[in-house]
Amino acid sequence: NLDRTEPQRTQQRENMTIDVAQIETRLFINNEFVNSESGKTFATLRPDTEEVICEVQEADKADVDKAVAAAEEAFKLGSPWRSMDATDRRDLMLKLADLIVRDRDYFEELEALDNGKPLGREDYYGTKADIYLVIQHFRYYAGWADKIQGSVIPVEGNNLCYTRREPIGVCGCIIPWNFPMAMLAWKMAPALACGNT
């Protein structure tokens, strides 16, 4: 019944502690926050009130090209990422999951503010469930980072036949509005676990 849940949703939103003036609105490219090449921004709105939350940098082709170039550089043979042991990649992903846990309340509130979802209750539904899934996906795929292996295939004669699984390189992902952090984790975690950029 909407009449029963609406007061709870309103109360949850009134209790949010996010200072919108402190929200990072720049693009994250090559391990730093930067303004868009064009300088354009767009307003992101609260779905429940249609108030402007903040102005966010608007990425376009030049920004995507810059991000892809940085990812290609990070993927080059001999680069720290490319030559990293799978166990180290696993540990970095687990560290990321731990950092999300540390800032979980903030991310839950930010997702609710930006998305219009309720925070949820008792870690069920709403953004509480979304952020829980983000953490679990990074942890799950971190566990796969050092378990990706090929096969030796029996063949006739004095031959060696094997498969070797290798990362493919730069991966791009499009994130929809309804589960932004969860969709990011669903796409980014397996790509990183495999060694892609």
| Structure tokens given for 15 | 């209790």
**Residue 58 and residue 36 in contact, taking contact as beta carbons nearer than 8 Å:** yes
Q: Which tens digit of pLDDT belongs to each residue from 36-60?
A: 999 999 999 998 889 999 999 999 9
Least confident window among 7-11, 39-43, 62-66, 149-153: 7-11
At residue 8 the predicted structure's pLDDT band, cuts being 50, 70 and 90, is very low
3-state secondary structure of 129: helix
Q: What is the pLDDT of residue 133?
A: 94
Q: Could you tell me the CA-to-CA distances from 74 to 31, 63, 95, 144, 148 in Å, in that order?
A: 11, 17, 20, 21, 21
3-state secondary structure of 33: strand
What letters, b where the CB count within 10 A reaches 16 and e where it falls short, cover 134-154? bbebbbbbbeebeeeeeeeee
Type of residue numbered 113: L
**DSSP labels for 131-181?**
HHHHHHHHHHHHHHTT----EE---SSS---EE-------------SSSHH
Q: Which tens digit of pLDDT belongs to each residue from 72-105?
A: 999 999 999 999 999 999 999 999 999 999 999 9
Least confident window among 2-11, 81-90, 93-102, 135-144: 2-11
With a pLDDT cut of 90, the percent of the chain lying above it is: 74
At residue 116 the predicted structure's pLDDT band, cuts being 50, 70 and 90, is confident
